[in-house]
């Protein structure tokens, strides 16, 4: 079986042919460098275990164990400290690990499975990008989505452009990328980005219901998502090129931009009951 992880809860439900991985939240529920490094190991373990036909798998489902938050995205204190210290190498490592994670999700971890994101609460920045890497998005009616990077003169560099410009018409994609607005699940459902909006306190039961409804149709659905990816192919090199532009942009940030980033860091930490941030 899969080993225990520090930053993720992972459970296998053979009766549903389903793996559920949840992001643990210690401090701000974001993607820290430690989470990203461990996610790379988790991805490799997943591929090895489920290459074994004794562990049938059709669905890989993501979620969060933090009430009200799926994920707030990038580790802003880490960015802030790296930019202040002019440490480009740290930003590049972080960005490339993000792309490793995003592309593994997009490719269903090289397994014959459908990926499903279950979103409860806020999915902001990189959290939103993570969601969009999945085949299917199921969101609680109260879930919120946002790409807030332009509030501190940066842009979402870990997949947002690639996914939104493939999933939506160009005007709808540009609106979400440029506005920095918060979108509800219903609104994104109408745009065609979210597959199912649920009004349930037990999202996992809704996922199981979705799977039960679609089980007899799995062969079609699996081929359907593979075909979409063939018609609108996404190469890892595209994601890496864009995230390298993101690193360049980080290094061009001015003091006023960093001050706005600092205000968001402080707001996040107040919400989580954390006093002061630590530069890394």
Whether 239 is covered by a domain: the verdict is: yes
Domain count of the fold of the chain: 1
Inside any domain, residue 278 = no
| pLDDT tens digits, one per residue of 148-164 | 999 999 999 999 999 99
**What's the pLDDT score for residue 107?**
98
Judge contact between 189 and 141, C-beta under 8 A.
Answer: no
Residue 213 lies in a domain: no
The CA R_g of the chain, rounded to the nearest whole Å, is 18
Judge whether 233 lies within some domain. yes
pLDDT surpasses 60 at 276? no
Q: Is the pLDDT of residue 273 over 90?
A: no
Which regions of the chain does DSSP assign to beta strands (E)? 8-13, 18-23, 59-64, 69-71, 114-119, 122-124, 136-140, 144-146, 182-184, 196-198
Q: Give ∠ CA 140-207-226 in degrees, rounded to 5.
A: 105
Whether the pTM exceeds 0.85: the reply is yes
**pLDDT one-digit tens code per residue, 65-87:** 998 999 999 999 999 999 999 99
Question: What is the SS3 assignment for 113?
Answer: coil
Q: Is residue 90 part of a domain?
A: yes
Q: Is the pLDDT of residue 40 over 90?
A: yes
16 is in which domain, residue-wise? 8-203+218-271
Give the C-alpha separation, 267 to 105, whole Å.
30
- Which among 221, 226, 237, 131 has a CA at the least distance from the CA of 185? 131
- In this prediction, residue 228 carries a pLDDT of 97
**Can you tell me the distance from the alpha carbon of 103 to that of 30, in angstroms, rounded to the nearest whole number?**
18
- Confidence band for 3, pLDDT divided at 50, 70 and 90: confident
Contact of 88 with 251, CB cutoff 8 Å: yes
- For all residues of the chain together, what is the average pLDDT? 93
Report if residue 2 sits inside a domain.
Answer: no
Answer whether residue 204 shows pLDDT above 80. Answer: no
d(CA 30, CA 249): 21
Flag the least confident range among 102-111, 149-158, 197-206.
197-206
The answer to whether position 243 is within a domain reads yes
Q: What is the pLDDT of residue 181?
A: 96
Asked if the structure places residue 279 within a domain, the reply is no
Q: Say if residue 208's pLDDT is above 80.
A: yes
Contacting residues for 29 by C-beta, under 8 A, at least 6 apart: 23, 64, 66, 69, 71, 72, 272
CATH of the domain at 251: 3.90.226.10
Using alpha carbons, select from 118, 135, 127 the residue that is nearest to residue 204.
118
Q: Tell me, what's the pLDDT at 205?
A: 81
| Calpha distance 277→280 (Å, rounded) | 9
CA–CA dist 22, 65 (Å, integer): 6
Q: Is pLDDT at 279 greater than 60 in this prediction?
A: no
């Amino acid at each position: 079986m899969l080993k225990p992880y520090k930053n993720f809860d992972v459970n296998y439900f053979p009766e549903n042919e389903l793996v559920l991985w949840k992001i643990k939240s210690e401090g701000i529920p974001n993607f820290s460098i430690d989470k990203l490094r461990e996610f790379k190991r988790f991805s490799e373990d997943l591929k090895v275990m489920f290459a074994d036909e004794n562990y049938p798998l059709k669905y890989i489902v993501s979620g969060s164990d933090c009430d009200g938050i799926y994920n707030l995205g990038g580790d802003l204190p880490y960015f802030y400290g790296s930019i202040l210290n002019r440490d480009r190498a740290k930003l590049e490592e972080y960005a490339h690990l993000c792309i490793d994670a995003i592309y593994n999700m997009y490719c269903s971890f090289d397994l014959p499975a459908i990926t499903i994101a279950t979103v409860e609460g806020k999915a902001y920045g990189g959290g939103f990008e993570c969601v969009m890497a999945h085949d299917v998005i199921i969101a609680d009616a109260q879930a919120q989505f946002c790409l807030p990077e332009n509030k501190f003169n940066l842009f979402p560099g870990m997949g947002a452009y690639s996914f939104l410009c493939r999933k939506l018409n160009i005007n709808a994609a540009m609106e979400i990328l440029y506005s920095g607005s918060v979108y509800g699940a219903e609104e994104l459902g109408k745009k065609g980005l979210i597959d199912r909006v649920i009004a349930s306190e037990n999202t996992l039961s809704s996922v199981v219901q979705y799977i039960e409804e679609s089980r007899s149709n799995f062969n079609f659905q699996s081929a359907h998502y593979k075909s979409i990816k063939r018609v609108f192919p996404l190469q890892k090199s595209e994601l890496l090129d864009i995230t390298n532009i993101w690193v360049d942009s980080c290094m061009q940030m001015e003091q006023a931009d960093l001050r706005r980033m600092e205000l968001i860091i402080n707001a996040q930490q107040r919400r989580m009951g954390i006093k002061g941030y630590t530069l890394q």
